[in-house]
């Protein structure tokens, strides 16, 4: 039986400073300033002392997921996930957060006019929760592999309401099934998760090719978080590196 | 180097304590608050804004300067009120009802203050009525709304409609921003402007209130 609540070690979610810097300092070809690097170091220390990453996982079969995925009938007409999940060998709903304490710290920094550190800490927190989700995804895959339910070459990918044509209102049914309130994540009437630095969705494990889809859906063009490919790559690289 | 120039220089390198100390000295020398603001603080922030716009510095650098700006401004504010010195304009900002994201909205507020605007920040999860009532009460010329969710975007239209229903479109201009929002959406809901980031918001708000 899969353990539903996972305490994620903070050190496994520490963001890579270079990738955070890249996000913070995107002007073309510019090196980060010493001040920005110093702020980032402060923010990483604060992240380490203020975050408490936790996740929750609950396996689900394709039939039950179909009901959750339909949400409030507001999904895009065609979505990649509707083709992916029926082909997945294992599915698990998940939610992960880095906790309220860090979110409050960010808010406090802005309140005390420490805007720069607050802004950098916000970026660090966003990167940290993604790493926590990566950890949970990997945790699920490893447990499946241990149980002989997933092959080493399997494809593992996560999808979230609000992305890839899955309407954000899908959160309602996802929350009802998963109950992430157990780890302190709640949903507001706008389907916004609290603490803000939280991620929810479904992890689909199956033949790697099921996750390959052409980025020709209308919503792919306007996607501000085109990280689906990066995540696939990082998982592949991670496996290859073992 | 004159003291106002020193204020500007120190503000640009984010030396908040030094800016506060120099501002105190300038006040002690009976330099008018308007001069300290315009030729010291705002002059420095304008240069920082330009450098950011030209991709010479990063947002964290701008925010360090903004903190220095606030350090000086906090000392000037009581004097400006006392002398009845008006601000460039007053803007009410907030994240719309149901939306608790406020980093983007905070950045807009910081940049607007850095450009000399008076900002009434209502925080997040702000009801349409509160936006409009506050704008009326504060005699603000602009209402700025932020949304980071597609589910909360419609609240922007409610605010725009409320301004129209109350017959205040000529007095209160509306500007919107946030990740899922676009210029097309602004046009669609009848907002007066759309800003794609915080510096762009300052330019758009200046245009709305007729400040160059």
The predicted model gives B28-32 an average pLDDT of 96
CB contact (8 A) between residue A168 and residue B110: no
Supply the pLDDT for residue A234.
46
pLDDT class for B211, splitting at 50, 70, 90?
A: confident
Could you tell me which CATH number the domain at A5-241 has? Answer: 3.40.109.40
Kindly give, in sequence order, each residue whose CB lies less than 8 Å from that of residue A13, ignoring residues fewer than 6 positions away.
Answer: A51, A53, A98, A128, A129, A131, A132, A135
Q: What is the mean pLDDT of residues A29-58?
A: 89
Is the CB of residue B99 less than 8 Å from the CB of residue B146?
A: yes
Confidence of residue A30 (pLDDT cuts 50, 70, 90): low
Give the pLDDT of residue A239: 52
Q: Which of A21, A74, A192 to mutate to test the interface with B (most CBs of B within 10 A)?
A: A192
Q: Is B64 on the interface with A (CB under 8 A)?
A: yes
A159-210, pLDDT tens digit by residue? Answer: 999 888 899 899 999 999 999 999 999 998 888 899 999 999 999 999 988 8
Residues 179-218 of A with CB under 8 A from B: 188-192, 194, 196
Residue A27 has pLDDT above 60, yes or no: no
Residue A241 has pLDDT above 60, yes or no: no
Hey, is the C-beta of B106 within 8 angstroms of any chain A C-beta? yes
Best of B16, B45, B60, B148 to mutate (most A CBs within 10 Å, chain A):
B60
Alpha carbons B139 and A225: distance in angstroms, whole number: 39
3-class state of residue B198 by DSSP: helix
Min Cα distance A36 → chain B (Å) is 6
**Model confidence band, residue B85 (pLDDT cutoffs 50, 70, 90):** confident
Query: Hey, is A124 helix, strand or coil?
Result: helix
pLDDT at A1 over 60: no
pLDDT score for B132: 97
Q: Which residues of B touch A188 (CB under 8 A)?
A: 98, 100
Q: How far apart are CA B167 and CA B43, in angstroms?
A: 37
Beta-ladder partners of A96: A55, A199
From CA A40, how far away is CA A123, in angstroms rounded? 9
B9: tokens are 């220089």
Residue A24 has pLDDT above 80, yes or no: no
Residue (of A219, A47, A186, A34) closest to A123 by Cα position: A47
- Asked if the Cβ–Cβ distance from B59 to A110 is below 8 Å, we say no
Cis peptide before B90 (omega within 30 of 0): no
Q: Average model confidence (pLDDT) for chain A?
A: 88
Measure the CA–CA gap between B210 and B212, rounded to whole angstroms: 7
DSSP A128-179: HHHHHHHHHHHHHHHHHHHTT-S-TT-EEEEE-TTSTT--GGGHHHHHHHH-
Distance separating alpha carbons of residues A157 and A152, to the nearest angstrom: 14
Could you tell me where the DSSP H helices lie in chain A? 17-24, 34-50, 62-70, 81-84, 100-111, 115-146, 171-178, 218-221, 228-241
DSSP helix, strand, coil percent of chain B (3-state; round to 5) = 60, 10, 30
Average pLDDT, chain B: 93
pTM: 0.87
Interface test with B, best of A116, A219, A224 (most B CBs within 10 A): A116
Side-chain-facing half-sphere of B76: CA atoms under 13 Å: 27
| Alpha-carbon span A55 to A136, nearest angstrom | 7
For the ranges A105-109, A220-224, A227-231, B103-107, which has the lowest average pLDDT? Answer: A227-231
pLDDT at position B9 over 80? yes
Residues of chain A contacting residue B110, judged by C-beta atoms under 8 Å apart: 115
- Number of Cβ pairs closer than 8 Å across A and B? 86
Q: What is the mean pLDDT of residues B193-210?
A: 94
Could you tell me the pLDDT band of residue A242, with boundaries at 50, 70 and 90? Answer: very low
Domains of chain B, earliest start first: 3-82 (1.10.1240.10), 90-209 (3.40.50.280)
- Whose CA is closest to A133, among A84, A74, A200? A200
**Residue A216: HSE in the Cβ half-sphere, 13 Å Cα cutoff:** 3
Give kind and range of the element (H or E) at residue A94: strand A90-97
Residues 6+ apart with CB under 8 A from B95: B101, B102, B105, B123, B124, B125, B126, B145, B146, B147, B148, B152
With an 8 Å Cβ cutoff, is A41 touching chain B? no
Q: What is the pLDDT of residue A32?
A: 63
What are the residue boundaries of the structural domains of chain A, listed by start? 5-241
Q: How far is B93 from chain A (nearest CA, A)?
A: 15
CA angle centred on A124, ends A116 and B108, rounded to 5°: 40
Model confidence at B102, pLDDT cuts 50, 70, 90, reads confident
Percent of chain B with pLDDT over 70: 100
Contacts A102 to B, Cβ<8 Å: none
pLDDT band for position A26 (50/70/90)?
A: low
Provide, as residue numbers in chain A, all residues whose Cβ is less than 8 Å from the Cβ of B97.
Answer: 190
Q: What is the mean pLDDT of residues B74-83?
A: 91
> Which candidate from A39, A188, A190 shows the least CB-CB separation from B60?
A39
Hey, is the C-beta of B19 within 8 angstroms of any chain A C-beta?
A: no
A134-168 per-position pLDDT tens digit: 999 999 999 999 999 999 999 999 999 988 889 98
Of all residues in chain A, the one with the smallest CA distance to B101 is A196
């Amino acid at each position: 039986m899969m353990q539903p609540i996972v305490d994620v070690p903070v050190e496994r979610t520490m963001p890579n400073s270079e990738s955070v810097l890249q996000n913070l300092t995107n002007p073309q070809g510019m090196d980060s300033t010493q001040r920005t690097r110093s702020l980032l170091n402060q923010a990483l220390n604060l992240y380490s002392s203020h975050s408490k990453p936790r996740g929750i996982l609950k396996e689900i079969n394709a039939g039950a997921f179909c009901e959750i995925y339909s949400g409030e009938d507001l999904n895009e007409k065609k979505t990649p996930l509707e083709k992916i999940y029926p082909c997945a060998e294992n599915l698990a709903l998940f939610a992960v957060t880095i906790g309220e304490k860090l979110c409050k710290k960010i808010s406090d920094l802005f309140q005390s006019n420490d805007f720069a550190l607050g802004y950098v800490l916000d970026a660090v927190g966003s990167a940290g929760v993604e790493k926590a989700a990566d950890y949970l995804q990997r945790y699920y895959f490893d447990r499946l592999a241990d149980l002989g339910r997933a092959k080493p070459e399997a494809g593992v990918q996560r999808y979230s309401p609000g992305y890839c044509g899955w309407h954000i209102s899908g959160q309602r049914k996802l929350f009802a099934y998963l109950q992430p309130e157990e780890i302190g994540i709640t949903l507001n009437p706008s389907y916004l998760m609290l603490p803000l630095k939280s991620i929810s969705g479904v992890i689909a494990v199956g033949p790697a090719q099921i996750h390959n889809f052409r980025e020709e859906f209308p919503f792919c063009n306007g996607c501000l978080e085109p990280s689906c490919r990066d995540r696939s790559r990082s998982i592949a690289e991670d496996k290859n590196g073992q | 180097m004159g003291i106002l120039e020193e204020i500007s220089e120190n503000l640009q390198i984010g030396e908040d304590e030094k800016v506060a100390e120099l501002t105190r000295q300038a006040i002690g020398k009976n330099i008018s608050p308007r001069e300290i603001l315009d030729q010291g603080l705002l002059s420095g922030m304008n240069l920082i804004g330009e450098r950011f716009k030209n991709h010479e510095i990063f947002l964290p650098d701008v925010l360090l300067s903004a903190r220095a700006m606030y350090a000086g401004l906090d000392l000037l504010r009581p004097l400006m009120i006392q002398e009845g010195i008006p601000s460039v304009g007053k803007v009410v900002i907030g994240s719309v009802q149901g939306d608790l994201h406020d980093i983007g909205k905070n950045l807009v507020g910081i940049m607007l203050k850095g450009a000399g605007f008076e900002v009434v920040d209502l925080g997040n999860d702000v009801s349409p009525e509160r936006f409009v009532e506050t704008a009326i009460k504060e005699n603000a010329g602009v209402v700025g709304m932020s949304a980071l969710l597609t589910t909360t975007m419609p609240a922007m239209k409610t605010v725009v409609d409320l301004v129209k229903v109350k017959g205040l479109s000529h007095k209160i201009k509306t500007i919107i921003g946030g990740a899922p929002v676009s210029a097309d959406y602004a046009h669609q809901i009848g907002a007066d402007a759309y800003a794609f980031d915080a510096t762009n918001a300052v330019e758009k708000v200046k245009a709305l209130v007729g400040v160059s």
